Amino acid sequence: MTKMYFVTGTDTEVGKTVVSCALLQAAGYQGLNTVGYKPVASGSELTADGLRNSDALLLQANSRVKLPYEAINPIVFEAPTSPHIISEKLNQPIEFSVINKGLAYFKSQADWLLVEGAGGWYTPLSVEKTYADWVIEQQLPVILVVGVKLGCINHALLTMESIEAAGLPVAGWVANEVEPAGIFQEQYLSTLNRMIKAPCLGVIPHQKTLNGKLGSYLDLSLLTIWLYKNINTFPQATLNAWGWSIVK
196 contact partners, CB below 8 Å, separation of at least 6 = 144, 156, 157, 160, 170, 173
Question: Is position 63 annotated in a ligand binding site?
Answer: no
Question: Is position 154 annotated in a ligand binding site?
Answer: no
Question: Is position 133 annotated in a ligand binding site?
Answer: no
Name which of 192, 200, 236, 204 is nearest 221 in CA terms. Answer: 200
Instruction: Please give the single-letter amino acid code of residue 63.
Output: S
Catalytic residue among 3, 38, 129, 213: 38
Question: Is position 55 annotated in a ligand binding site?
Answer: yes
Question: Is position 10 annotated in a ligand binding site?
Answer: no
240, exposed or middle or buried, with CB in 10 Å at 0-12, 13-18, 19+? middle
Question: Is position 179 annotated in a ligand binding site?
Answer: no
Is the Cβ–Cβ distance between 178 and 14 less than 8 Å? yes
DSSP bridge partners of 92: none
Question: Is position 70 annotated in a ligand binding site?
Answer: no
**Gap between the terminal Cα atoms of the chain:** 17
**CA-to-CA dists, residue 60 to 56, 142, 146, 167, angstroms:** 6, 20, 23, 30
Question: Is position 66 annotated in a ligand binding site?
Answer: no
Question: Is position 215 annotated in a ligand binding site?
Answer: no
Asked about 38 being catalytic, the answer comes back as yes
Question: Is position 176 annotated in a ligand binding site?
Answer: yes
CA 179 to chain CA centroid, Å, is: 20
In angstroms, rounded to a whole number, what is the distance separating the alpha carbons of residues 50 and 31?
Answer: 32
Question: Is position 45 annotated in a ligand binding site?
Answer: no
Binding-site residues for substrate: 42
Annotated binding site: 13-18, 42, 55, 116-119, 176-177
Residues belonging to the binding site for Mg(2+) are 17, 55, 116
Q: Which residues are annotated as a binding site for ATP?
A: 13-18, 55, 116-119, 176-177
Catalytic site positions: 38
